[in-house]
Structure 1
Amino acid sequence: MLQLGDEVTLYSLVFVLALLGTRSPVWSTVLTTSLCLFLAMFRFPLVATSRARQVLHPVAGKVSAVAHRGGGHDAPENTIAAIREASRNGATGVELDLEFSADGIPILMHDETVDRTTNGSGPLSKMSFSELRRLDAAAKHRFRSKFVGEKIPTLEEAVKECIKLQLTIYFDVKGHPDEAAAALTDMYKRYPVLYNSSIVCSFEPKVIYRLRQSDPEVLTALTHRPWSLSTLGDGTPRFSSVWKHHWMTMMDILLDWAHHHLLWKLCGVSAFLIQKNFVSQNYVQYWAQRGVEVVAWTINTKVEKEYFQDVLHINYITDSLVEDCEPHY
């Protein structure tokens, strides 16, 4: 639950900022009170801790190793083959990316185009499911000869395979809030076991909020990487313009504050998925005091895995269950 100190800090900061902006104690009080009422009326409560624990720790007391995109280093990412390979290699769960074909079929795909992972070319928004189905999803993978002809799966095909293999699913939703909410709500209705074996994650708070509007019983998480608006994953500035870089840095500060003090509470998330470089014991404790679990990504070396498992005792997402591989941002 939100700590009293968080409430005081949040509303005090809003009051001070409003006072600086309006120079009116009356309007500052009105704005702060409005925010308080808005959160009270429109926020979603956390899902029961017992169910969150069941999803995040299917093996009681154990840290979960989650295969990123099904384990894209070990098998073609976001495929049925990857899900099966992750299960064979000891994964507790799989993280899968939800996207849509041009004709509205929910599928597994990380990018907005098929160029990086298949033998095809073009944006998903221009390709029907029948066209996507003809592509080889293993064409660009290092083990393509082992998985030749692997198809792009539908969301339902992936869900059924994960249920069969008893894998926890981390649904990563890239966008399309309304379409994603409709597709996932339908999936939960048809496969109720998902309520106790899956969590929906997104970088976009609107996706999570829209989903909880559709079904408040679904377990959810926000995904975050500080400084993501102004820099790439390796720290390189995203923009050549100095003015634009500084402007986006300011937006990063605001976004980070909002994630940690406002958005998580509004959405009522049960977990916070964050890039590994920003995780510490104090950070894990910060969220634990609020009833929220931390999941780190992407953990790709044996040393890192031992640290997150044995020292921090938190779940982690990895590209490989069997060997060290390159950092992933």
Structure 2
Amino acid sequence: MNQVQRVAHRGGAQLAPENTLAAFRNALTLPVDAIELDVQLSRDGQLVVFHDNTLDRLTNGTGNILDVDFADLRSLNAAASFPGGWPQPEQIPTLAEVLALVKGRLRVYIEIKLSKRDGVYGRYPKIAEAVVREVWAAKMLSQVLFISFDWPVLTELRSIESDLQVGALVSHDLWTPKNEQSVRELCDEVLSRGCQWVSLDQRLFADPMVNLIHQRGLKLALWTVNKAADLERLARAGVDSLTTDRPDLFSYLS
């Protein structure tokens, strides 16, 4: 079987409050090679690890991340809505805190998020430079894969630091797999952005894509795979990376 990278999505979102230090500490105890996390900017420019553009779903707060200062974000409980409850409050972590926790132990997939206000997506100002600066300060450039649905930011990342590993996140909103030619066209677009990885929604995947993507010199990642049987099947198909909310299930991979 191909040696697949085993990735804990948001630290393992079904096992602990997502994107918290508790989740990432738990991931360190599991058979994983990497954690995946999401990065956004507070109103006063702090890089925080949080998935949603708004605070409502995951915390005891409300409002847009981009409208809230870091000190106020830190006062919130990021475990407030964890199914079944969580024994203690968890703060929204900074990117620096997570990097310090896993340095030398796991790789990190950093998803750079778009901002959103009133239903309109935008780009956090200078977020690419800020993330690269933080990773460089941690001396972890070789341990990080930078990913985003915002493909232009991937080109920007490579212009800042040419040695970065970057991957294009691909969903139904961005691409429809019609035939082999559509896969080749996707590869061409991803390569033009300076990417080394294609990171597909698993629902877009078909087995022939593995060879087509590998032939172009790209690696293939799939997300978010939450059943043991699917993890096993996709690992055997030859993909390079599998991301799951249930990283404990990697123990079942042969």
Alpha-carbon deviations, 1:62-90, whole Å to 9, x = none? 21210111111101111111111112122
Provide the secondary structure at the position in 1 that maps to 2:243.
strand
1:162 to 102, 112, 123: 102
Contact 2:109-2:144 within 8 A present in 1 as well: yes
1:271 shift after superposition: 0.7
- Is the contact between residue 276 and residue 299 of structure 1 (CA under 8 Å) also seen in structure 2? yes
Residue 219 of structure 1: aligned partner: 165
Work out whether residues 67 and 86 of structure 1, in 8 Å CA contact, stay in contact via their aligned partners in 2.
Answer: yes
CA contact (8 A) 2:187 2:216 kept: no
Q: Which protein shows a greater Rg? A: 1
Provide the C-alpha distance between the structure 2 equivalents of 1:257 and 1:287, rounded to a whole number of angstroms. Answer: 8
1:319 maps to what in 2?
245
Pairwise CA RMSD: 2.4
1:150 aligns with 2:90: yes
Match of 2:119 in 1: none
Query: For the residues of structure 1 that align with 2:135 and 2:30, how far apart are their CA atoms?
Result: 27
SS of residue matched to 2:103: helix
Aligned to 2:67: 126
Which of 191, 194, 217 in structure 2 is aligned with 1:291? 217
Q: What letter is aligned with 2:170?
A: H
Counterparts of 1:279 and 1:215 in 2: how far apart (Å)? 31
The Cα shift of 1:262 comes to 3.7
8 A Cα contact 2:42 2:68, kept in partner: yes
Amino acid across the alignment from 1:174: K
* More helix by percentage: 1
Question: Do the aligned partners of 2:27 and 2:247 also contact (CA within 8 Å) in 1?
Answer: yes
User: Which residue of structure 1 lines up, in the alignment, with residue 8 of structure 2?
Assistant: 67
**Is 1:268 aligned to residue 194 of structure 2?**
yes
- Say if 1:290 and 1:98 are closer, same or farther in 2 by CA, change over 3 A: same
- Alpha-carbon distance between aligned partners in 2 of 1:203 and 1:219, rounded to the nearest angstrom: 15
Work out whether residues 298 and 317 of structure 1, in 8 Å CA contact, stay in contact via their aligned partners in 2.
yes
Partner of 1:179: 126
When residues 156 and 79 of structure 1 are mapped into structure 2, their CA distance, relative to the original with a 3 A threshold, is same
Residue 98 of structure 1, aligned match among 39, 43, 52: 39
For residues 297-329 of structure 1, the C-alpha deviation after alignment (integer angstroms, 9 at most, x for no partner) is: 1100011011012333431000112359xxxxx
Deviation at 1:259, TM superposition (A): 6.1
Deviations 1:242-271 (A, max 9, x none): xxxxxxx9xx99xx7796154212212111
Aligned partners of 1:266 and 1:321: how far apart in 2?
32
Amino acid at match of 2:21: I
Percent identity of paired positions between Structure 1 and Structure 2:
28
- The yes-or-no answer on 1:300 pairing with 2:226 is yes
Cα 1:178/1:270, change in 2 over 3 Å = farther
The CA distance in 2 between the partners of 1:263 and 1:322, in whole Å, is 35
CA distance in 1, matches of 2:131, 2:210: 29
1:209 to 131, 155, 158: 155
**Greater strand proportion:** 2
Could you list the per-position Cα deviations for residues 5-58 of structure 1 after superposition, in whole angstroms to 9, with x for gaps in the alignment? Answer: xxxxxxxxxxxxxxxxxxxxxxxxxxxxxxxxxxxxxxxxxxxxxxxxxxxxxx
> Structure 1 regions of 5+ residues with no counterpart?
1-60, 231-248, 325-329
Work out which of the residue numbers 119, 136, 139 in structure 2 matches 1:189. Answer: 136
Normalising by structure 1, we get a TM-score of: 0.67
2:80 to 139, 154, 175: 139
Structure 2 unmatched runs, 5+: 115-122
Q: State the secondary structure of the residue aligned to 2:248.
A: coil
Q: Return the offset for 1:185.
A: 1.9
Partner of 1:280: 206
Q: Report the CA distance shift for 1:259/1:223 in structure 2 as closer, same or farther (over 3 A).
A: farther
Letter in 2 for 1:183: A
8 A contact 1:172–1:200 mirrored in 2: yes
Aligned with residue 18 of structure 2, among 50, 73, 77: 77
Aligned counterparts of 2:245 and 2:163: Cα–Cα separation in 1: 29
Shift of 1:181: 1.2
Paired residues of 2:187 and 2:213 also in contact (CA < 8 A): no
Q: Deviations over 1:150-203 (max 9, x none)?
A: 100011111111215x111000111236522111221232122x2221100011
Aligned-partner Cα distance in 2 for 1:91–1:143? 24
Q: In structure 1, give the amino acid aligned to 2:135.
A: Y
